[in-house]
Amino acid sequence: MIYPVRTPWLLKQIYSECIWEMPAYDNKIYLSFDDGPHPVATPFVLDLLKEYNARASFFCIGKNVDNHPDIYKRIIQEGHRTGNHTFTHANGWKTGTEEYIREIRKTSGLISSDLFRPPYGRVRFSQLRKIRNELGMKTVMWSLLSGDFDPAISPARCAENVLRNMKPGSIIVFHDSEKALDKLRHALPLVLEEIKKRGWVTAVL
């Protein structure tokens, strides 16, 4: 896979209405997890976050919330924030705008949030406008990809992607999913330990 670990400046300018990073002045880091809830990965993440007294934002797929309501409820109960990630992990570039908006609306019946993240980061400008104007939602992207979704990289490389590049204000993407789990188990404890060591704090979006 070819993808930038750090989001290029030009991409931020093209999609300037999206949220790519947060203010850096207060030493906060914004961990986010996509694609859950998952019956194994999400409880692992939640247990680890609790151990470090850390907070995160979970961009959930509607059908997974429907399948695992108790895990979704736990995310909320433990002080994390959730966001909409469509109902079926729809690719905006391959999905008509009206169908895409229906996916988001369907998920909004399960997730009460004004945050949206497009799967794969692929969304059309027509879709963005409707997400903002019709749904009243903010589209959140990221400044740093862990790469935990990439089968070609090692767990050590996944951790290195984050540890080398994170800074206050970073929005970091992990995935609480089956394919990311091995990398997540290695990388997330190292990242949380380093955040603690640097005296930073985690926050929800």
- Decide if 144 contacts 6 (C-beta within 8 A): yes
Residues 6+ apart with CB under 8 A from 71: 36, 37, 38, 39, 42, 43
**How far is it, in rounded angstroms, from Cα 118 to Cα 84?**
8
> Of 35, 68, 175, 176, which residue is the catalytic one?
175
For this structure, is 175 an active site residue? yes
**How far is it, in rounded angstroms, from Cα 46 to Cα 55?**
9
Instruction: Tell whether omega for the bond before 37 is within 30 degrees of 0, i.e. cis.
Output: yes
- In sequence order, the β-bridge partners of residue 174 are 33
> Of 34, 35, 148, 150, which residue is the catalytic one?
34
For this structure, is 182 an active site residue? no
- The set of long-range contacts for 10-15, using a CB threshold of 8 Å and a minimum separation of 24, is 15/128, 15/141
Catalytic residue numbers?
34, 175
